[in-house]
Amino acid sequence: MLAPTSQVLLRNSEIFTSGRWLLVNPADAHICQDLSDSDVSVFHQFFDIYQQSQRLGEAAKHRFGASYTSDELFDGAVIYMPKAKEHAKMLLANVAACLKPGAQLMLVGENKSGVKSAAKLLEPYCKQVNKIDSARHCALFGGELTQTAKPFDIIAWQTVQTIDVAGLSYQICSLPGVFSHGEVDIGTRVLLENLPRYHSGRVLDFGCGAGIIGCFVALSQPTSKVVMADVSALAVYCSEQSALLNKLNVDVQPSNGLKALSAKFTTIITNPPFHTGIQTDYSVTETFISDCKNYLTSEGALILVANQFLRYAELLEKQFKNVTLVQQTTKFSVYSCLRAR
């Protein structure tokens, strides 16, 4: 079934019947099929929906990346409201630069995603913002672009900061929409400050965000081959930039779970996700834990930090022969899990 936000767009499908449209970060892949009679291109920052959309057809219409550029300007665009307001602002700046003057600029989102602030977010770009529709606990807001927007430069949205973690000082690039933007998550800090000894070799930072864990490993174990993976194009971009800032030779890949990764790792280190968009979602990490063994060498280990309220211990014990609770704080647990005893 289509996401409620996409259902709202379908109720208003006549909007898309004239001109070229850009859809940004759709919550599901099927909306593109349902709008296939219209001229719709899609900008994805999430690899899972991007891959699903490509499989459903017209692959050339779908682009995955941290930002979007287009030689030919669009007549309209709809942005699915992201979780972070700053991310919405960055997307609006990017998308407005891809529109003709007078084009339609819209935001659709669930009420709980903060879409009620859409009118304010659109005001810098549109003279008059209207609520076009509201249904399924969602709203669609839009207006006419008053003038050609400034060219978009992602660098203007980046922050670079020096972080000090577990005795290392290094630089991290971050963007709105990336996990723990501009700061080190407490769970990540607990993990890095309590890392047990692990095999260097081929080390994966799963769900790398801005690259804090991957860069830490590459700096502290220079002989290891570090791979970082994330479903978010913004995270992939920031991890690449963070590696460059620290002159590290790492491999950063977009991946939904472990699916896009090949060959085995000696160690996987992660602060895994428990959200998809604005929804709490344990399924990504549950699937990751089940699949993990297939991506580890026979002597390989998984090192994971989790909030106390997440009951991953049982799952880990089902999949690994030897699970050790390395550290426990009032909020976080760090586990080390070995494939072999």
Residues in contact with ligand SAM by the rule CB under 6 A: 48, 179-180, 185, 188, 207-209, 212-213, 230-232, 235, 255-257, 271, 273, 284
Amino acid at 97: A
Q: 40 vs 218, which CB is nearer to ligand SAM? A: 218
Amino acid at 237: Y
Q: What contacts 58, CB < 8 A, 6 or more positions away?
A: 32, 36
Q: How far is the CB of 319 from ligand SAM (least distance, A)?
A: 18
Please spell the DSSP secondary structure of 203-233, one letter per residue.
EEEES-TTTHHHHHHHHH-TTSEEEEEESBH
Q: How far is the CB of 229 from ligand SAM (least distance, A)?
A: 6
Q: In this structure, are residues 16 and 35 in contact, taking their beta carbons and an 8 Å threshold?
A: yes
Amino acid at 210: A
Q: 105 vs 269, which CB is nearer to ligand SAM? A: 269
Q: 76 vs 207, which CB is nearer to ligand SAM? A: 207
Q: How far is the CB of 308 from ligand SAM (least distance, A)?
A: 15
Q: Which is nearest to 302 in space by CA: 198, 210, 228?
A: 198
Q: How far is the CB of 192 from ligand SAM (least distance, A)?
A: 9
End-to-end CA distance of the chain: 44
Q: 130 vs 327, which CB is nearer to ligand SAM? A: 327
Tokens encoding 292: 């993990």
d(CA 275, CA 280): 4
Q: How far is the CB of 165 from ligand SAM (least distance, A)?
A: 10
Q: 41 vs 188, which CB is nearer to ligand SAM? A: 188
